[in-house]
Amino acid sequence: MVEHIDLSQVNWARAQFALTAMYHWVFVPLTLGLSFLVAFFESIYVRTANEEWKRITKFWMTLFGINFAIGVATGIIMEFEFGTNWSNYSWMVGDIFGAPLAVEGIFAFFLEATFFAVMFFGWNRVSKGFHLFSTWMVAIGSNLSALWILVANGWMQYPVGMRFNPDTARFEMQNFWEVLFSPVAISKFTHATSSGFLLASLFVLGISSWYLLQERHQVMARRSIIVASVFGLLSSAYVAFTGDEAAYSVAQRQPMKLAAMEGLYDGRTSAPLIAAGLINAAKEPGDKQAPFAVELKIPGLLSLLANREAGSFVPGVNDLVFGNKEHNIIGAEERIEKGKIAVELLRTYKEARKAGDKDIANAALKAFGDYQDNLGYGYLNKPAEAVPPVGITFYAFHIMVITGTIFPLVFLFFLYFQAKGTLSYQSWLLSLGILCIPLGYIGQQAGWVLAEVGRQPWAIQGLLPVTVANSNLTTGTVQTTFFIFLALFTLLMIAEISIMLKQIKIGPEEN
Amino acid sequence: MIGNLDYSTLQQIWWIIASLVGSLFLFLTFVQGGQTLLFTVPRDAEEKALIINSLGRKWELTFTTLVLFGGALFAAFPKFYATSFGGAYWVWMLILFTFIVQAVSYEYRKKPGNFLGATTYEAFLFINGSVGILLIGAAVGTFFTGSSFSLNDYNQVTWQTPYRGLEAARNFFNLSLGLFLVFNARVLGAMYLINNVEHAALADRCRKSAWKSFLWSLPFLLYVVANLLFMKGYALNPATGEIFLQNAKYLQNLLGNPVTLLLLLVGLILVIYGVALTCFKNKNNGIWFSGIGTVLVGLAVFFLAGFNDTAFYPSSFDPQSSLTIYNASSSHYTLTAMTYVALSVPFVLAYIAYVWKQMDSKKLSLAELSSEDAEEMY
């Protein structure tokens, strides 16, 4: 199927996708959460008819708008990049993957685009009630956008509801509902959106903390802190719950990713959870080196979290690469061998069909049926290629979890001191509130690095490696667009941060 | 009922849906056209602010329609998505860059601390309205003139030129279609502003601008239409699946499909009628006639390319690699599922129309720009 694989081109394409996705995800989580916070503020305004709440709404709405614009700018490329840089992927799974993307456009993007104008320019053009409705529609539309793209991403992590069609050489959808309600898709959606709510709460909390430290706009800051802390605390609980679901789902469906997340090479029963550690970068699958230079273990916890059963067996990298007969695990080594046979049979079938030789074609097709589950592995050259970068996956996972653990405590402190009426005097806490903004962004990025690096080398888990998924381009072409994106997005982000800081400095309009 | 539709009917339905989204996009390029007027039509900063704020309430609709056009093609014709985007890499990338810079420009142009200065963001808008639309037109032109690619047995694309799609802009037919779309967008942009903005002097200048842009568009339109009528086209032999060059293919398509002919003629008449109303009768509603006319002409163009056993994305290098709506589509199952989803499109169009009406019931005026909500304005 692949005559020539240009690895450096593939890697530049991966780098470009990572770059554009990471930039996009700087802005999206804030949109997801801030849209709801603005809707909460406006709902309170409409209920109380208190102009102060309108002022609060408008201030956060201004920051929402600045962030939203660059989210849209960085988002358009994500859709088209599947075609430009991953054209084989687009053909091979477009039959399944294209549908959620189109549904996203119809159901979600138009909600956002249509009601956004009302939200910003409709204060005096539509009724109060319709304006509030529009603000809610923007919030719902933004989050629905996330639903569909995460359904698509969930499908890439755990492909269900389809079959391979050897005639068209692509995967074709068999069951739309299975794709939509895949457990991975659901946990991806709930975890990603609730983490967005969390980030937006930190954003509001941090900026309000700065106002309190500056002794400016104190009424607005305190009110914002109350709403953001409650929303943030609830979101944190939900993030933890959905995070546990997502990790369980990874353990059951992407065991290699779980092994990399925990730096687990030799599978075992009653596996410990590594709370923190320093990875041994020289470690390779199958060698005798220790996986960690330093580690802090919690005995037995990984088995409990991964399988919801204390003492259960959790496979490690080595089991998944070389196989483990005792636990009925077929390793990548064996699957590659079978995969190579599948690739060869597919080629024989295509050639025989072209030549009109029905007997050979039918025989090849029949035999292909026995091996096709391993087709994706047939494009790997050695078993170690089935292992994602362990260091990046491990650190990303731990950074995400550690930052996510700090935030609910911060919200609790804010609520406690706010209730006591001494929040303004807790400069340590207010400073921590500001620090939580960058920490929140780091946690967000770490989450997606984990999700995407951890499933390498697969574009579609177990079926399509990135080396087969990409477009037939030259390295120089992709390098050029990589650097254009880097320059352009960096420039636009500098502008965005500069505008954002200026608006925060100006603050809400004073009556 | 949808569940019983046969495969080829679904493929045709999806070509119609994709064509409709593409044609609506062409209407909504009044935003892009309006952006190209920024440096010539307004006389002062206030007039410029009026134009920006008027267009700024619609730009996302155009943008989203483009995104949906991409999504619909991905879902319904993934082989086109893979072949064209992965092959004609540079042309699509350049188009996307112009839309990336557009997306921040309305919001950031007047905001303090915007780093690049207002003029840069205005230049971004101009580039999006001119280069972006020109390249989209050139890309659509290749639906007729063909591109230089081949597909292997696994449907993987190899592009035959190092220019990666930019070579389309060297073909005068493609270039003419692109330039026609740029001038048509300017006509629509000027008409939209006349309809949406309360400013007599600005409206007068928009009328003159609409007329001038219309005159500029004519030679390119005539060139495109004349060529379409006489050029060879890539025809599909439905019995064998073979692609072959046929004389005056698109003229045959036009005569063989009265609906397409009607769409083209009515569309052109409506566009001209809208211009005449605007420029000679001093009416403000020309945008609706010319806008709907543009949609109809767009539909005719896409129907000419895709229906009547025609390859809608032909390969001039290897005609047998050409894409038709039959060999490039998603599976029967996916098209069926997607058709159920598409039943919601009228609902979406209805709420867009409702909100549009609510927001535009009162024209945008200078007074509003300096009202208590001035801070929200672009």
Best of B24, B31, B68, B98 to disrupt the A interface (most A CBs within 10 Å) is B68
Contact B373 A488 (CB under 8 A): no
A169 neighbourhood in chain B, CB within 8 Å: 153-155
SS3 category, B342: helix
The reply to whether A218 and A129 lie within a common domain is yes
Is A38 inside any structural domain?
A: yes
Q: Which of A387, A417, A438 is the last residue of a domain?
A: A387
The reply to whether A332 and A379 lie within a common domain is yes
Task: Check if B92 contacts A (Cβ < 8 Å).
Answer: yes
Residue B36: predicted pLDDT: 98
Per this entry, what is the length of chain B?
378
Task: Check if B230 contacts A (Cβ < 8 Å).
Answer: no
The reply to whether A181 and A108 lie within a common domain is yes
The reply to whether A358 and A415 lie within a common domain is no
The reply to whether A374 and A407 lie within a common domain is no
Is the Cβ–Cβ distance between A314 and A303 less than 8 Å? yes
Higher pLDDT, B286 or A152: B286
Residue A107: predicted pLDDT: 87
Which amino acid would we find at residue A40?
F
Give the count of domains, chain A: 2
pLDDT interval class at A100 (50, 70, 90) = confident
Residue A77: predicted pLDDT: 93
The whole-chain average pLDDT of chain A stands at 93
pLDDT tens per residue, range B238-279: 999 999 999 999 999 999 999 999 999 999 999 999 999 999
Is A1 inside any structural domain?
A: no
A180 neighbourhood in chain B, CB within 8 Å: none
SS3 category, B110: coil
- Measured CA to CA, the distance from residue A317 to residue A75 in angstroms comes to 35
pLDDT tens per residue, range A423-476: 999 999 999 999 999 999 999 999 999 999 999 999 999 999 999 999 999 999
**Chain A stretch 465-494, residues whose beta carbon is closer than 8 A to a beta carbon of chain B:** 471-473, 477, 481, 484, 488, 491-492, 494
Task: Check if B96 contacts A (Cβ < 8 Å).
Answer: yes
pLDDT at A511 exceeding the cut of 70 = no
Contacts of B349 (CB under 8 A, 6+ apart): none
- Which of A85, A98, A117 has the CB atom closest to B78's CB atom? A98
Residue B115: predicted pLDDT: 94
Is the Cβ–Cβ distance between A446 and A400 less than 8 Å? yes
- Measured CA to CA, the distance from residue B81 to residue A46 in angstroms comes to 46
- Measured CA to CA, the distance from residue A240 to residue A247 in angstroms comes to 10
Is A328 inside any structural domain?
A: yes
pLDDT at B153 exceeding the cut of 90 = no
Q: What is the distance in angstroms between the Cα of A40 and the nearest Cα belonging to chain B?
A: 19
The whole-chain average pLDDT of chain B stands at 95
- Measured CA to CA, the distance from residue A69 to residue B363 in angstroms comes to 25
- Cα Rg of chain A, angstroms: 25
The reply to whether A192 and A209 lie within a common domain is yes
Is A511 inside any structural domain?
A: no
Q: What is the distance in angstroms between the Cα of B227 and the nearest Cα belonging to chain A?
A: 30
Tokens of A149: 């793209």
pLDDT interval class at B371 (50, 70, 90) = confident
Per 3-state DSSP, what percentage of chain A is helix, strand, and coil (rounded to 5)?
75, 5, 20
SS3 category, A464: strand
Q: What is the DSSP string of B186-252?
A: HHHHHHHHHHHB--HHHHHHHHHHHHHHHHHHHHHHHHHHHHHHHS-EEEE-TTT--EEEETTHHHH
Tokens of A442: 């780091």
Contact A72 B103 (CB under 8 A): yes
Q: Which of A355, A387, A419 is the last residue of a domain?
A: A387
Complex ipTM over 0.90: yes
Task: Check if B154 contacts A (Cβ < 8 Å).
Answer: yes
Rounded mean pLDDT of A61-78?
93
Domain containing residue A129:
7-254+388-506
pLDDT at B60 exceeding the cut of 60 = yes
Residue A334, number of CB atoms within 10 A of its CB: 15
Task: Check if A97 contacts B (Cβ < 8 Å).
Answer: yes
- Chain A residue with the nearest C-alpha to that of B354: A114
pLDDT at A6 exceeding the cut of 80 = no
pLDDT at A2 exceeding the cut of 60 = no
Rounded mean pLDDT of A409-430?
96
Residue A105: predicted pLDDT: 86
The reply to whether A412 and A429 lie within a common domain is yes
- Which of A99, A354, A473 has the CB atom closest to B337's CB atom? A99
Best of A110, A167, A351 to disrupt the B interface (most B CBs within 10 Å) is A110
The reply to whether A394 and A381 lie within a common domain is no
Q: Which of A306, A308, A272 is nearest to A291 (CA)?
A: A272
Q: Which of A337, A371, A387 is the last residue of a domain?
A: A387
Helical H segments across B281-344, by residue range: 286-306, 332-342
pLDDT tens per residue, range A219-278: 999 999 999 999 999 999 999 999 999 999 999 999 999 999 999 999 999 999 999 999
The reply to whether A285 and A354 lie within a common domain is yes
Q: Beta strands B233-236 and A313-314: pairing type?
A: unpaired
- From residue A493, how far is each of A28, A487, A490, A500 by CA, in Å? 13, 10, 5, 10
The reply to whether A379 and A406 lie within a common domain is no
- Residue whose structure tokens are 């389809």: A162
The reply to whether A406 and A376 lie within a common domain is no
The reply to whether A135 and A275 lie within a common domain is no
Rounded mean pLDDT of A287-303?
94
pLDDT tens per residue, range B189-199: 999 999 999 99
Residue A5: predicted pLDDT: 58
- Measured CA to CA, the distance from residue A76 to residue A150 in angstroms comes to 16
pLDDT at A4 exceeding the cut of 70 = no
pLDDT tens per residue, range A170-205: 999 999 999 988 888 888 999 999 999 999 999 999
pLDDT at B218 exceeding the cut of 90 = yes
Give the count of domains, chain B: 1
Is the Cβ–Cβ distance between B150 and B317 less than 8 Å? yes
- Measured CA to CA, the distance from residue B234 to residue B159 in angstroms comes to 19
Rounded mean pLDDT of B312-330?
96
Domain containing residue B113:
2-376
Residue A261: predicted pLDDT: 97
Best of A9, A16, A95 to disrupt the B interface (most B CBs within 10 Å) is A95
- Chain B residue with the nearest C-alpha to that of A110: B64
